[in-house]
Amino acid sequence: MKVLEIDAEKLTPREINSQLKQASMGHDRIIIKNPNAKHYLAAGVTEDVEIEFDGSVGYFAGCMCEGPKIKINGNAGWFVGDNLTGGEIIVEGSAGDGAGQGIYDGTVVVRESVGSRTGEIMKNGTIIIGGNSGFMTGIFMMGGRIIILGDVGDDVAESIIRGVVYVKGEIKSLGYNAKLEELTFEDTLDLEEALSKYDFEIDDYSEFKKIVPESTRPFYGH
């Protein structure tokens, strides 16, 4: 395995990304030291490469990526994994608003809590939040699944069209076109498979609540 370390202490985000994209074509794993919460890191990476940030990152980390496995050993700002089309992003800490916004595929995992509007307009893929998620989680969701292990705020799944939101904790309120549906045995198997892959230990899967669209055409009258 070819491994490269990049010290980002004195580099701009543009310089970091330039070095990262060039290195991703000839290395299996890249470690970014001292990311110092800089924005737009690892944006647009399309290679099948492991990228590890040894610290926190800023806004739009891992946005518009296709293929890499990104690990962030700290926190992430707003919109981590924005428009991800494939691959995996794991945030070991917490993240801001809009985690996984607009993803087309792949997986975004935040081990602690996140801000509001998680998974907004997502089309497919999986988002796993180990803690709480704020208001309007899953707003305008068009597909995929969101799994929240903690509590969720107001208007969860607001104007959802397709997809599913699972919540283990408390639901403050449902949004327009969202409804609760009975959890099936197949759902519990699906949850167990998704969560065990990322080492989340769940004692009782029956505690999850399942939120789905009430209608696939909520804006066209009755």
pLDDT average, residue stretch 121-150: 98
Tell me what pLDDT residue 222 has: 53
Q: In percent, how much of the chain has pLDDT > 70?
A: 99
CA distances from 88 to 46, 133, 169, 173 (A): 12, 20, 25, 30
- Which own/partner contact pairs does 115-118 have at CB distance under 8 Å and 24+ positions apart? 115/78, 116/153, 118/146, 118/148
Strands 66-72 and 86-91: parallel
Q: Which domains does the chain have, with CATH numbers?
A: 3-213 (2.160.20.60)
Are 133 and 152 within 8 A, CB to CB? yes
Question: How does DSSP classify residue 119?
Answer: T
* Residue 76 β-bridge partners: 95
Question: How does DSSP classify residue 184?
Answer: P
- The model's pLDDT over 41-63, given as tens digits with 9 standing for 90+, comes to 999 999 999 999 999 999 999 99
Q: Could you tell me the sign of the dihedral formed by the alpha carbons of 146, 149, 150, 151, in that order?
A: positive
Tell me what pLDDT residue 220 has: 67
- The model's pLDDT over 76-106, given as tens digits with 9 standing for 90+, comes to 999 999 999 999 999 999 999 999 999 999 9
Alpha helices for 82-196 (secondary structure H)? 185-196
d(CA 24, CA 93): 25
* pLDDT at 16 > cutoff 90: yes
d(CA 71, CA 49): 11
- Which own/partner contact pairs does 100-108 have at CB distance under 8 Å and 24+ positions apart? 100/125, 100/127, 100/146, 103/127, 103/144, 106/65, 106/81, 108/80, 108/81, 108/84
* Residue 66 β-bridge partners: 86
Q: Give the three-state DSSP class for 193.
A: helix
Tell me what pLDDT residue 221 has: 60
Tell me what pLDDT residue 55 has: 98
- The model's pLDDT over 179-220, given as tens digits with 9 standing for 90+, comes to 999 999 999 999 999 999 999 999 999 999 999 999 988 876
